[in-house]
Amino acid sequence: MNEPDLPTPDLRGQTVLVLHAHPDDESIFSGLTLRRLADAGARTILVLATAGELGGSRVPLRPGETVPERRIAELETAAELLGVSRLVLLGGRDSGLPGGPGLAHPRALAAADPLTLARHVAELADDEGAATIVHDDEHGIYGHPDHNAAFRVGALAAELTGATAYRTTVDREHLHTAARDGHLVHGAARAAATPFGRATVEIALAVSGTDAHLEVKRAAITAHASQLGPDDVPLSTFAAAYGYEWYRRTGPAGVLDRLGNAHLVGAPRV
């Protein structure tokens, strides 16, 4: 059992823009949040900065199909599962791991002018009336160049629009005790040779979900079948590794806080 007692806020009329670097990040890092926002009646705008062009595919593609085409199709499936109201692709290209050749590509997200992209995101947020923007934290969750870029773009867009910003991260202390080596971020951080996440004390908000929300989150993650399979997110450890989504916040408590904070002071950690 994950969280049996969750607030059920009425968020009709609220719009939240959620920015991520690659298809699958939305499900891994904010799948519960997106689903719960949709359930509460909020409109959610999911913005993907790249199509994950350098992720390869662990399954055979159809003749003529490209990796980004496959990944966008998977993203559309995941977005539907998560109740996303509108999906927008920002048009950057996956930059790959630090030191790799992807960074030299003319459309590499990590080399793009963050202000140009931030203006685009800010315009979207303004058009949609989104007073809340969710984006990677200052460390890019685990330091991948595209996640660092997603931080710069998201933070600038929040500044341009005056939106409350929630900065996506993971609680590395929680993951250390509850899910040692059992979260995809562990392998990703190893591949990028970077530290990851934050200490508990640096995190403002931990969003959790019910067993049903967790089931949806797992289905959304595994919709990205070109990147991972069900064995990569085993049921036995799924709640421990993926049962919370963690955010730092700039500005006063906002829409995401109304989903409830699982880190209640003095409460035993689940």
**Which residues of the chain form contacts with Zn ion (CB under 5 A)?**
21-22, 25
Q: How far apart are the first and last CA of the chain?
A: 10
For 42, residues 6+ apart whose C-beta sits below 8 A from its C-beta are 11, 12, 14, 15, 16, 255
By DSSP bridging, strand 164-169 and strand 244-250 are antiparallel
Closest distance between Zn ion and the C-beta of residue 25, in Å?
4
Closest distance between Zn ion and the C-beta of residue 184, in Å?
10
Q: Which is nearer to Zn ion, 22 or 183 (CB)?
A: 22
Q: Which is nearer to Zn ion, 97 or 207 (CB)?
A: 97
Q: Which is nearer to Zn ion, 161 or 227 (CB)?
A: 227
Q: Which is nearer to Zn ion, 211 or 232 (CB)?
A: 232
Three-state DSSP string of 131-198: CEEEEECCCHHHHCHHHHHHHHHHHHHHHHHCCEEEEEECEHHHHHHHCCCCCHHHHHHHHHCCCCCE
Closest distance between Zn ion and the C-beta of residue 19, in Å?
12
Give the Cβ contact number of residue 269 at 10 Å. 14
Residue whose CB is nearest to Zn ion in the complex, by number:
22
| Torsion angles phi and psi, residue 52, rounded to 5 | 65, 40
Q: Which is nearer to Zn ion, 9 or 31 (CB)?
A: 31
Closest distance between Zn ion and the C-beta of residue 148, in Å?
11
Closest distance between Zn ion and the C-beta of residue 144, in Å?
6
